[in-house]
Structure 1
Amino acid sequence: MDKKPKITVLGSINMDLVTITSQVPKRGETLFGEHFQMNPGGKGANQAVAAAKLGAQVQLIGCVGNDRFGEDIVAHLQEQGVDVSNVEPVTDITATATIIVSDQDNSIIVVPGANNYVTASFVESKRDVIAASDILVLQLEIPLEGVQKAVQIAKENGVKVILNPAPIQALPSELLKDVDYFTPNEHEQELLRKNRAEEELDGKLIVTKGSQGVCIYEDGEEVIIPAYKVDVVDTTGAGDSFNGGLAHALSKGLSLKDACKYGNAVAALSTTKLGAQTGMPTSAEVEEFINSQK
């Protein structure tokens, strides 16, 4: 893996506001929480960091607010090795995800803020950046029109596209046709089946199944790429780690099977530490881990 790949990630950039409590308050009730933390997040930013920590040349396209959250996130991304020259402050509010983690359940409120500004016209302004990439990685936490425009530009310029369809939504047939790799989890795959979209993804579908590994399809046959067994601490960001690892491996010329194995190793290691971006491994850590499994 000598060539340094050029990966462009287009997607969401959030500040995650996490409150840990033993009990969620009832309507009108005030309770004391146990812990609070702020973590840079958003699937776009997460996947960019995952690939960058593996040594890829990664540029992130997206929007933040003209606020402290935006400044802090951009500085953090730079520290992680992500090129943020195409991350633009466009409004007053950076996207936030307010997450309440309790003994009973987790709940999340997302305010899209600046992510809503990743429109088709914004993406068109980044045409040259996308066209010069080896691989484009996308998710669905930004407006669909922005995703469609990016895929169109990539297709016109021979750039491979990985679409992680999260959160899942109905997708146009034209978009599915132009995507090279489609990476839903099991839940998202079920919704695709209900919408009969899975039929349009023959040869492109890569389904992540957590501890069961990854399922790909070759000549109509289901092939399972087993997961690595590790002591799990936190699964947050495992899917984003897989997608970052997959992009890195594919852009280096690995076969789909080997790229999925590599992505599995990246995802497995990410679950052994707390946090999404903080738990993502380096290339050296992944190579050492893979060698230890032989």
Structure 2
Amino acid sequence: MTSREDEILQLIKSDPFIQQQTIANLLNISRSAVAVHIMNMTKKGIIRGKGYFIANQQYVVVIGGMNMDILGQPDAAFIERDSNPGKVKGSAGGVGRNIAENLARLGTDVRLISVVGDDAYGDLVLKETKTAGVNISAVNQISNQTTSTYLSLLDNQGDMVAAVSDMSILEHLNVGLLTQHVELIRNAAAIIVDTNLSDTTLAYIFSKFADKHIYLDSVSSAKAAKARPYLSRIHTMKPNLIEAQAISGLPLESESDIDDIAEWFIQHGVKRLFLTMGADGVLYRTEYDEKLMRPLPVSVVNANGAGDAFLAGLVHSQLGGLSDVDACHFASGCAAIALEHANTINPNINELLVQQRIEDVPC
């Protein structure tokens, strides 16, 4: 590969959808010269397909919500129906976006497909997400739309009291948008979706990309039931107990009910189930294996975001070749690190920090 081809390749790696004229302007050469170099690299097998997909480059695609998160927490015990002195802060959020940022901070090449509005929140969310290392080339900023906003209230111990979300813009994260990114999705090593997507969009993904490893985050009990028609096509699923009960419709009144719920998911075709149970740990189930993973010691500062970090840790470590049990242990380390920071995403999280966190704690 020539030095000029290498320069072009680096620009393509940073933005797989970069225009040839943009490359020409950046390198101070003609567009026709860029076209010749790209043609030569295509013949050599260095890049392939639409969108300049780089051969043998492993990446993850996340399709899901992208929000502005507004979080309030009182200084003392929460008093209902009253004004509570405390702190209010805002940051980029959204289940899909949070998973993508955690993946990027762990070192995974991740591409996010989502939508934001053309407002101040949209500009801020895009900037924070790109700064964190996520490729946002497939995020659409839609005119005359309000960026999805999630308002949550914690108690003084860090547990969520209530939340309100305005996510109407996600109607634009639809099949029409995804058809623009078919090759990007098809060439991914793994696809992550959340149930903020519409039923039509989920149906399209699970039909069009049925041969891919699809990971699903069930988001909340209100949205979790959307996953039910697609259980047999899910590679890995990470519901909490309340979400799992909402999907299965089974009772959740005793410890034995937890085993019944986990078995229900496996019988309905889920390949790998990681049932998160808070302080009781994670129940890992496949058709052939079962293991209860105890949680790591943690001082909870903010309960938001632990599940997003956990799923990111699973995907990152499984793509890295870890066994399911070891991947679950790594993911638990990610969740513990997330819980100990005031932000939804701990900005300090990285692979080395997680390894140090779990190395002295047995699976």
Identical-residue share of aligned pairs (%): 21
Structure 2 Cα separation of the partners of residues 247 and 105 of structure 1: 26
Give the Å deviation of 1:284: 1.6
Give the aligned residue type for 1:230. V
TM-score, normalised with respect to structure 1: 0.88
Structure 1 Cα separation of the partners of residues 62 and 280 of structure 2: 27
Give the aligned residue type for 1:260. C
Aligned to 2:127: 75
| The 10-residue stretch of structure 1 (259-268 or 57-66) with the greater mean CA deviation from structure 2 | 259-268
Aligned to 1:164: 217
Query: What are the superposed Cα offsets for residues 198-235 of structure 1, whole Å, 9 maximum, x if unpaired?
Result: 33135432211222222122446532122212233222
Query: What are the superposed Cα offsets for residues 65-124 of structure 1, whole Å, 9 maximum, x if unpaired?
Result: 001100110010011100000111124200011223456972222111322211122222
Q: Is the 8 A contact 2:152 2:160 kept in 1?
A: no
Q: Is the 8 A contact 2:100 2:111 kept in 1?
A: yes
TM-score, normalised with respect to structure 2: 0.72
Q: Is the 8 A contact 1:241 1:280 kept in 2?
A: no
Aligned to 2:353: 285
Which of the pair has the greater relative contact order for Cα pairs under 8 Å at 6+ separation? 1
Q: Does 1:240 pair with 2:308?
A: yes
Structure 1 segment 26-105 matched on structure 2, within 5 A: 31=83, 33-91=85-143, 92-101=145-154
Q: Does 1:179 pair with 2:234?
A: yes
Q: Does 1:142 pair with 2:197?
A: yes
Q: Is the 8 A contact 1:50 1:281 kept in 2?
A: yes
Structure 1 Cα separation of the partners of residues 300 and 84 of structure 2: 28
Aligned to 2:329: 261
Give the Å deviation of 1:23: 3.6
Give the aligned residue type for 2:341. K
Q: Is the 8 A contact 1:5 1:134 kept in 2?
A: yes
Q: Is the 8 A contact 2:113 2:136 kept in 1?
A: yes
Q: Does 1:190 pair with 2:190?
A: no
| 105 and 177 in structure 1: CA distance in 2 versus 1, 3 angstrom threshold | closer
| 206 and 86 in structure 1: CA distance in 2 versus 1, 3 angstrom threshold | same
Give the aligned residue type for 2:149. T
- 2:314 is paired with a residue whose SS is helix
Structure 1 Cα separation of the partners of residues 125 and 139 of structure 2: 10
Give the aligned residue type for 2:147. T
Structure 2 Cα separation of the partners of residues 74 and 277 of structure 1: 15
Give the Å deviation of 1:172: 6.4
Q: Is the 8 A contact 1:7 1:248 kept in 2?
A: no
CA RMSD of aligned residues (A): 2.4
Structure 1 Cα separation of the partners of residues 91 and 135 of structure 2: 19
Q: Is the 8 A contact 1:234 1:274 kept in 2?
A: yes
Give the Å deviation of 1:54: 0.3
Q: Is the 8 A contact 1:5 1:252 kept in 2?
A: no
| The 10-residue stretch of structure 1 (188-197 or 33-42) with the greater mean CA deviation from structure 2 | 188-197
Give the Å deviation of 1:257: 1.4
- 1:273 is paired with a residue whose SS is coil
Q: Does 1:118 pair with 2:173?
A: yes
Structure 2 Cα separation of the partners of residues 192 and 220 of structure 1: 22
Structure 2 Cα separation of the partners of residues 143 and 280 of structure 1: 33
- 2:70 is paired with a residue whose SS is strand
Structure 2 Cα separation of the partners of residues 105 and 11 of structure 1: 22
Q: Is the 8 A contact 1:4 1:252 kept in 2?
A: no
Q: Is the 8 A contact 1:96 1:113 kept in 2?
A: no
Query: What are the superposed Cα offsets for residues 115-145 of structure 1, whole Å, 9 maximum, x if unpaired?
Result: 2211122222221111110011111112222
Alignment partner of 1:128 out of 175, 183, 194: 183
Q: Does 1:217 pair with 2:291?
A: no
- 1:201 is paired with a residue whose SS is coil
Structure 1 Cα separation of the partners of residues 349 and 118 of structure 2: 30
Structure 2 Cα separation of the partners of residues 271 and 280 of structure 1: 12
Q: Is the 8 A contact 1:266 1:280 kept in 2?
A: no
| 24 and 280 in structure 1: CA distance in 2 versus 1, 3 angstrom threshold | farther
Give the Å deviation of 1:285: 0.7
Q: Does 1:276 pair with 2:331?
A: no
Structure 2 Cα separation of the partners of residues 290 and 200 of structure 1: 32
